[in-house]
Chains A and B, each alone.
Chain A
Amino acid sequence: MKYGDGTLRGVFYYAGALIAALAIDGCATLGGGQSSAVLRAKNEVAPALVHIRPVKEVFTSGQREEVLIVGSGFIISPDGYVVTNEHVAGESRFVKCVLGDKNEVAAEVVGVDPYTDIALLKLDVGRPLPYVRLGDSDRIEAGELVMALGSPHGLARSVSLGIISVTDRYLEESQMGAEPYHNWIQTDAAINPGNSGGPLVNLRGEVIGVNAKVLRGAENVGFAIPINVARDVITQFKAHKRVRRAWLGLALQEMLATTDDPTQRGVVIADVDPLGPAEEAGVRPGDVLAAINDKPVHARFAEDLPALRQMMATLPIGESAHLTLQRGSETVAVTVVAEERSALKGEQVEFGEWGFTATDLTPAIARRAGLDARQGVLVSGTQPGSIARNAGLNNGDIILEMDNEPVTDLAGFREGYRARVEARRPLTLLFVKRGALTRFVLVEQDRELLPATPLEAITETE
């Protein structure tokens, strides 16, 4: 169950209290020692700071477009690995990086991970590059001075100063509603659009976080991904270009969701995915998970959940894991075989002749749509005035059949689509799912889409 609004509201009130506290204390000024420490730390990181300009593929209103955006990043090794956000470098066609010496070089995207919003790039310039030192984000404290470096609103090489406001902010609504694998570092160092992917640096000149988001409408409430989270992801990217996570098909809730009794230990199973391995093993919502492979687990507060999810994600894929469950007064032991978690986002494709875009169904979308198995493709947009729009195809429709043949995935649909476009087949019948209902959609490829006729022309032909 998502409580996004509540969480964000909580953050908002917290920010309000923080601002009030600062106002009472008056404006803080840095002593001479601190000021030179800030300068030293900045000088250590600044040469490795990267201004990133990716050209991204964006799908809007049934059309694929290429858009130039601006972000930030930092070099982590002399051989040119660069860390940034997935929302900066993901779905990009080309990525250009402007280095500390203002030279621009092309970068290769090594890996992107929407679950943590981390991406890894590789620069190849044939010479060793300056790089940052990574700190330990498990050893940070609220109140510590930090700097955010990056390109706010595209203004490269900008530095802002603040403190760590909270070390472990839990934001339930992460990307696309997936349950988060980490807490966030909250800071009041100014972070703006364009700072994304830039480093959050402590006074020792170590990178402790990757700046990634801000609370809109608030002042100086920014969030960074802890560098230890990024470090794990980077290791996986270097090993196999993607992050492999184990998936049991469980959603967790903190113990407080069902009891205020602090002696109760474990974590509440809030939801069991009907297509997941845990369902098959007989796990039920309301069970309390007490141990995984005999190792006790406990999450009294929501902030304790991401670490548990991360622990479950590292279970060996394809191997058995033993779960100890508390079901009422009974202790139940079950064995589950962890599957690999599927991609958070489906591939997106434009079908230009008919004027719409579609994407593969992710398991989350399939479940929301009430489909028992992976089938169909999801319409993600239709162009005004297009053949698809004329036929009555809607954004959000799931195409289940084309000319009575089941549509299983995007690749298969694409093939059938191509054949029909090339053969100029006049009529194609789609069977789509729209919410709880189904509907037939007739695509009329032979219907000419005329440009609007001026009134004069109509009069003349009479």
Chain B
Amino acid sequence: MTHNRLNSGTPPRVLCLLLCAALLIPAWHTAAQSFTQEALAELHAQVTPAIGIVRYALEVTNPNTGEITKRDNLALALIVSPDGLVMTHGHMVLENSQPFNIKVFLGRGDEEQEYEATLLKKPDDVNVVFLRLKSEERLRLPHVRFARGATLALGQPVALFGLLGDPLDYARGLIERRIGAILDKPRTTCCLDDAVRYGYVGGPVADAAGRVVGVIGFDLSRAEGGDLYVRSGHPLVYQTDLFQRYIDNPPSETEIETSGDHAWLGVFTQPLTDRFAEYWELPANGGLIISTVVAGSPATEAGLRAGDIIVEFDGTPIRAKLDRDVPGFTKLVREAGPGREVVVRVLRDGQPVDVTTVLGTRPRSAQEAGEYEAPQFGLTVRELTTDVRIALNLPENIEGVIVRRVKSGSVAQIARMRPGVVILRFGGHLVTNLADFQAAVEQVTADRPQEVVVFGRLGAATGFFRLEPRWDEP
């Protein structure tokens, strides 16, 4: 009875729902061009053979202590050309982390192929990294072709392709999302409406017309203001036009990006907000207030000082008003070329002053710093670079090398040495740089004394460590 009654009660409601559906679905379908199941399956078959896995080790430097930790990492690798150019997300190379031992795995199951890969120079203006697969034979790989000029609109559905996790044996999966927001600053950027798993980052994005229109990105590049969005949980879509030129003309091969080609002025700045302008009774045209002048930099030599406001650099007006405008200036200086004479126009006490300076070469960073390991003591040290000096607030007149690693159970650890100690003397030898330290270690090792006294500095204080080397150990 009950069954019957229910049956007899449903038809009008079902009818109503069907009617609504009949009215609504076609309209919605045309407006938003959603995916049919067939279309998704077809895209999956087309795109996922180009998805591989990149496994690498990452060396992460703690910018404050200089301590280095290593860890294994993996990410989605997208083949973007048949001859083995691979694109992956930009977090593989960050300011304080450097990948090494990079391997790319393509194909699945028994057909999986392993390739060693070379890291190419990371582009400045988009947060992706390119790799070149190493192979003796000419490669002909399945790859993704990006549609150019396609724009995405708010609310538009997109299909994303990526890797499922280790428990699912990195099966290639798909999900559907929508463009949830379009940001207009600092450049037009599409955000997804919801988070995606890590395995989708760097993966291809397709529109309902079946075109691959971009990839999922973590974030903006540093030049664009860096990690503005990483904490919001809304991934970005990098559209083809942002990175296609790097696929057409891949960046040069480089082990580590060197600062040697970059010009350096040696100032820290903050934007001239309208309130700062009001305080100094200046027109609200923006600019960069010099907050710190780095000792020994071209800026110091040129007589620039804290409080000067940069309004023009080498003919380019500087109109920074917000924090995110600062990286643009850094890029401008960096690309001006070391050794070039430039005119920096500053406002000093409200009056324009033209300062001529010869740009220097950007000092080496902690990452590029020379390193020396003395295994007999369990010590690895690095040269003191400008960035480490700033991070540790070390005065210019302190010269030495900084301890980066102390091996567990080593002679140095027993003597209570630890990362961050700046070695000023080693076994009676003055240490002002890495070469001094190496020479001191070699001399001490030849002399084989029972004790080696190390004089060092930690924070603002100095002190001694007494090493008792185990010379008899192999």
Contacts and interface: CB of A to CB of B under 8 A. Distances in A.
B167 interface: no
A259 B292 CA distance: 44
Contacts of B391: 435-436
A270 B462 CA distance: 6
B460 A368 contact: yes
B395 A253 contact: no
Interface residues of A, number: 32
Contacts of B470: none
B270 A439 contact: yes
Given A259-B466, A285-B455, A369-B393, A3 B416 contact: yes
A258 B466 contact: yes
- Residue of B291, B453, B468 with most partner-chain A CB within 10 A: B291
Contacts of B471: none
Nearest to B395: A370
Contacts of B456: 1
A2 B279 contact: no
A258 B275 contact: no
B451 interface: yes
Contacts of A256: 466
B54 to A, nearest CB: 36
Interface in A414-448: 427, 429, 431, 435-440, 442, 444
Interface in A207-266: 251, 253, 256-260
A189 interface: no
B283 interface: no
Contacts of B453: 258-259
A440 B464 contact: no
A431 B458 contact: no
Interface string A1-36: 111001000000000000000000000000000000
A38 interface: no
Given A286-B455, A368-B459, A253 B464 contact: yes
Interface residues of B, number: 36
A212 B234 CA distance: 52
A285 B268 CA distance: 35
A34 to B, nearest CB: 42
Contacts of A286: 425, 455, 464
B461 interface: yes
Contact of A437 (B275, B390, B416, B455): B390
Contacts of B229: none
Interface in B348-398: 389-395
Nearest to A432: B291
Contacts of A427: 275, 278-279
A444 B274 CA distance: 12
Contacts of A440: 270, 276, 289, 291, 307
Given A251-B462, A260-B450, A286-B464, 19 more contacts: A1-B458, A1-B464, A1-B465, A251-B463, A257-B464, A257-B465, A257-B466, A258-B451, A259-B453, A270-B461, A271-B463, A370-B460, A436-B390, A436-B392, A436-B394, A438-B306, A442-B273, A442-B279, A444-B275
Interface of B: 268, 270, 273, 275-276, 278-279, 289, 291-292, 306-307, 389-395, 416, 425, 450-451, 453, 455-456, 458-466, 468
Interface of A: 1-3, 6, 251, 253, 256-260, 268, 270-272, 285-286, 367-370, 427, 429, 431, 435-440, 442, 444
24 contacts: A1-B456, A1-B465, A2-B461, A3-B416, A6-B416, A253-B464, A257-B464, A258-B451, A258-B466, A259-B451, A259-B453, A259-B466, A270-B461, A285-B455, A285-B462, A367-B460, A370-B460, A427-B275, A427-B279, A435-B391, A437-B292, A438-B292, A439-B268, A440-B276
